[in-house]
Amino acid sequence: MTITTLLNDPALLQTRAYIDGEWVAGEAAANFAVRNPASGDSIAEVASCNAADTRRAIEAAEAALPAWRALPAKQRAQILRRWFELLLQHQEDLAQILSLEQGKPLPESRGEIAYGASFIEWFAEEAKRAYGDVIPSPFGDRRLVTIKQPIGVVAAITPWNFPNAMITRKVGPALAAGCTVVVKPAAETPLSALALAVLAERAGVPAGVLNIVTGERASEIGGELTRHPAVRKLSFTGSTRIGKLLMEQCAGTVKKLGLELGGNAPFIVFDDADLDAAVQGTLASKFRNTGQTCVCANRLLVQDGVYDAFADKLAAAVRKMQVGAAHSGEVQQGPLINEKAVAKVAEHVADAVSQGAKVLTGGAPHPLGGNFYQPTVLTEVSEHMLVAHEETFGPLAPLFRFQDEADAIRLANATEFGLAAYFYSRDVGRIWRVAEAIEAGMVGINEGLISTEVAPFGGIKQSGLGREGSRYGLEDFMEIKYLCFGGLNS
Ligand SMILES: NC(=O)c1ccc[n+]([C@@H]2O[C@H](COP(=O)([O-])OP(=O)(O)OC[C@H]3O[C@@H](n4cnc5c(N)ncnc54)[C@H](O)[C@@H]3O)[C@@H](O)[C@H]2O)c1
Ligand SMILES: O=C[C@H](O)CS(=O)(=O)O
């Protein structure tokens, strides 16, 4: 299947990098292959950029900054609005591209395109609300105000698991604030990023305001983005390991940081929970994107009295899930992104079983082979197992037992991560006690799907810094300037 036969608008399939409003092959005129994770087939050959190309992109963003930041916010908002409308008009094509290069089922890809577009819509509106302050002056001869100004050139480095939304969740507020951006998408999924740039160009985003630097040499490109003095902020979404590395690299030029990192979400089922609702919440939270989201339930903590009933209900629901390639028909679980991801799931299952866990369903690679793994439920899992401390990032639901509320909170918080957490209870006192005690940036209460553009997305502890989306998201791309007007009595 060739990708262009799937598209209504084949021009959305770009394979060159986008620098200073030009589609370029890159200095070395080299390419790298983008592959379909369901089959391993090459989908396209994409420009492989190097440090020199990255410098050119940063210089283009720097040159475009004065005019873009000087544009009245309402005009920036109008351009973002047009981009949002184009994203929705081309939702099907963008979803086809996304499913082919990332593997998620088409309904999930359509959902991601709508979710990604919602950030552009939201920040088109927020652009016009970057308010300052008038501060009551303690001085008779002075007046005090603050104004908000864009941080400047932003570098954005994004992951493969949401190759559309993780870019718009950064570029939306950055452009709304008056910043210009250089994006380095994951080498696994550059086509979605390039398609976003095609539509941004059509929407009227000026040359140099948005740049897409594609390539498989992440450390070379990232080295330039994190050390170049013209870059004033790095916005990174990815693993905690790489986030820490990039933090260190940014220190030399004291860049502002936005970090959306790894997770290890607890999903707590109390004995007063609606078990059917908890099962649906688990399917939504644990198995979305075949378990490859940062906010996936990673540990299911189930109170002793309902453990067996919940385990049986969950296993029955998981067994019904269809596994297959996105374009093979109606499936709920796709392939993992690569064989390394499959190996990690297999390692977590083998480690747990070797220490006494039981396989209730799944527990082995899928008969389809390749990057497909059976959706799996393990019982009798304990906190000494790898799956208790590491983010699995795959279709594995490990069930831990707990006795009481204090035990649940202790287990839930026994991690260096603090991105998302979930719990099911119908006791209002318990809900408030647990919601306040749990160490996470976002908490789903009787709900497994919590992400939306209107709410602050982000974590605490080693899950990151800052928030994306919501009314807070624009602040993360702005500086506050304090103005003191003196001499009023002279
Ligand atoms: N908190 C969030 O919002 C969020 C969202 C999605 C994914 N994640 C996390 O990301 C991880 C999975 O995504 P991943 O495998 O793409 O993560 P990753 O950290 O390996 O890669 C993320 C991005 O960083 C780039 N990168 C890798 N090494 C680099 C280097 N040395 N210098 C510069 N760039 C480099 C990659 O090319 C990619 O673009 C998981 O831990 C997941 O929890 C977090
Ligand atoms: O995994 C990355 C995304 O942030 C997940 S979500 O779609 O924003 O919940």
Coil, strand, or helix at residue 233? strand
| DSSP output for 397-443 | EEEEEE-SHHHHHHHHH-SSEESEEEEE---HHHHHHHHHHS--SEE
pLDDT at 427: 98
Residues 289 and 264: their CA atoms lie apart, in Å, by 16
Q: What is the pTM of this model?
A: 0.98
Please, is 66 exposed, middle or buried when counting C-beta atoms within 10 Å of its C-beta (0-12, 13-18, 19+)?
exposed
Q: Convert the pLDDT of each residue in 205-229 to its tens digit.
A: 999 999 999 999 999 999 999 999 9
Atom 6 in ligand 2: residue holding the nearest Cα: 451
Please tell me if the CB atom of residue 47 comes closer than 6 angstroms to any atom of ligand 2: no
pLDDT at 326: 95
Q: Convert the pLDDT of each residue in 425-474 to its tens digit.
A: 999 999 999 999 999 999 999 999 999 999 999 999 999 999 999 999 99
Please tell me if the CB atom of residue 315 comes closer than 6 angstroms to any atom of ligand 1: no
Residues 337 and 331: their CA atoms lie apart, in Å, by 16
What's the whole-number mean pLDDT along residues 103-121? 98
Q: What confidence category does residue 4 fall into, taking pLDDT thresholds of 50, 70 and 90? A: confident
Please tell me if the CB atom of residue 462 comes closer than 6 angstroms to any atom of ligand 1: no
| DSSP output for 241-259 | HHHHHHHHHHHTTT-EEEE
Q: Is the pLDDT of residue 56 over 80?
A: yes
Catalytic residue (choose from 101, 260, 453, 468)? 260
Q: Convert the pLDDT of each residue in 267-326 to its tens digit.
A: 999 999 999 999 999 999 999 999 999 999 999 999 999 999 999 999 999 999 999 999
Backbone angles phi, psi at 215, to 5 degrees: 165, 160
Q: How far is the CA of 294 from the centre of ligand 2 (A)?
A: 6
Q: What confidence category does residue 1 fall into, taking pLDDT thresholds of 50, 70 and 90? A: low
Please tell me if the CB atom of residue 162 comes closer than 6 angstroms to any atom of ligand 2: yes
Q: What confidence category does residue 2 fall into, taking pLDDT thresholds of 50, 70 and 90? A: confident
| DSSP output for 466-488 | S-BSTTHHHHTTEEEEEEEE--T
Question: Among 192, 236, 293, which is best to mutate for testing ligand 2, by the most ligand atoms less than 8 A from CB?
Answer: 293
Burial per residue of 345-384, b for 16 or more beta-carbon CB atoms within 10 angstroms, e otherwise: bbebbeebbeeebebbbbbebbeeebbbbbbbbbbbbeee
Which residue type is seen at 327?
A: H
Q: How far is the CA of 490 from the centre of ligand 2 (A)?
A: 57
Q: What angle do CA 159, 18, 174 make, to 5 degrees?
A: 60
- The interface predicted TM-score of the complex, written ipTM, equals 0.97
